[in-house]
Amino acid sequence: MTETPNLPIVRTVAALRAHTRLWRERGETIALVPTMGALHEGHLSLVRMARVQADRVVASIFVNPKQFGPKEDFAAYPRDERTDADLLAGERCDLMYAPDPAEIYPPGFSTTVSIGALAQVMDGAARPGHFDGVATVVTKLLTQCAPNVAIFGEKDYQQLLVIRRLIKDLDLQIEALGAPIVRAPDGLALSSRNAYLSPAERQIAATLPMVLNEAARSLTGGRTVAETESLARAALSASGFQKVDYVEVRGADDLSRLGPGPLTGPGRLFAAAWLGKTRLIDNLAV
């Protein structure tokens, strides 16, 4: 594709490093925003946070095959590089890194970054291998770009903690910052996968944040964690979600299980549920 004015697009590690080396030589700091493209306001909020955090902003776009299960939506995942480039240019992003797959997984590639307990629960349990794929690709992107900071959305809260863990464990000198969830006016968290929803499913989808908000209120009101989780599950099923993968209250830093009694300190409420072929996730602080 032709380049968007003012937004260079690079597809190789060598070209990426040619830019970042120059910036570092000038003493400029770098923020990286890793994405899988099909950009929306949620992604753009990360780019804006990156703009504030560093002198230079790199956004990566790579639909990572290793984080999709064999029966998941890798082939169908929305891709629109032209629109993504225009949106990034509009946010004064300095560089778009859209690596050729062979730059990430060259022939013979055989290393997996595997995180322990944090990656075994919730999405880790529901999507075997998912966080190995995420941790492996994010480690590559972080080492290729070597930013000062990297920005991730709290929409994927468990992913944010997994990435903080790997940064710490691998001694990467990078700060991982979390950005608040950007929502549609009816409360649904923005997601590239919302494009899969039929109009009827889109209406039902808005009950997910409503159910979580109601559950948060009842936890604050003293209802037990166990009862709140099971009422929220039932409410999601009654709203039309065909399958609820989990509704769980966990510690915000280590994802330790809270409850079954009333909440005694701050935590985070997480849910994942299916509408037809679309899996939605959401979370909020409690």
- Which segments of 25-94 are extended strands (E)? 30-35, 56-61
Please work out the total of residues on this chain that contact ligand AMP, with binding judged by CB under 6 A: 17
Q: Say if CB 241 and CB 275 are below 8 A apart.
A: yes
Q: Respond yes or no: is residue 19 known to be catalytic.
A: no
Which of these ranges, 99-107, 118-126, 149-157, 208-216, lies near ligand AMP under the rule CB under 6 A? Answer: 149-157
Which of these ranges, 2-10, 89-97, 178-186, 274-282, lies near ligand AMP under the rule CB under 6 A? Answer: 178-186
Q: Say if CB 95 and CB 89 are below 8 A apart.
A: no
* For ligand AMP, the closer CB: 37 or 259: 37
Place of tokens 């925003």: 33
**Of 152-171, which residues contact ligand AMP (CB under 6 A)?**
152-153, 155-156
First to last CA, the chain: 45
**Of 205-264, which residues contact ligand AMP (CB under 6 A)?**
none
Q: Is 223 left (phi over 0), alpha (psi -120 to 50) or beta?
A: beta
Contact status: 135 vs ligand AMP (CB under 6 A): no
Contact status: 281 vs ligand AMP (CB under 6 A): no
Task: Name the DSSP letter for residue 71.
Answer: T
| Contacts of residue 129, Cβ cutoff 8 Å, sequence gap at least 6 | 66, 67, 69
Contact status: 189 vs ligand AMP (CB under 6 A): yes
Q: How far is CA 158 from CA 20, 49, 130, in A?
A: 29, 20, 11
Convert residues 42-61 into a mask of x (bound to ligand AMP by CB under 6 A) and - (unbound). Answer: xx-xx---------------
Contact status: 35 vs ligand AMP (CB under 6 A): yes
Footprint on this chain of ligand AMP (rule: CB under 6 A)? 35-36, 42-43, 45-46, 152-153, 155-156, 179, 181-182, 189-192
Q: Which residues are catalytic?
A: 43
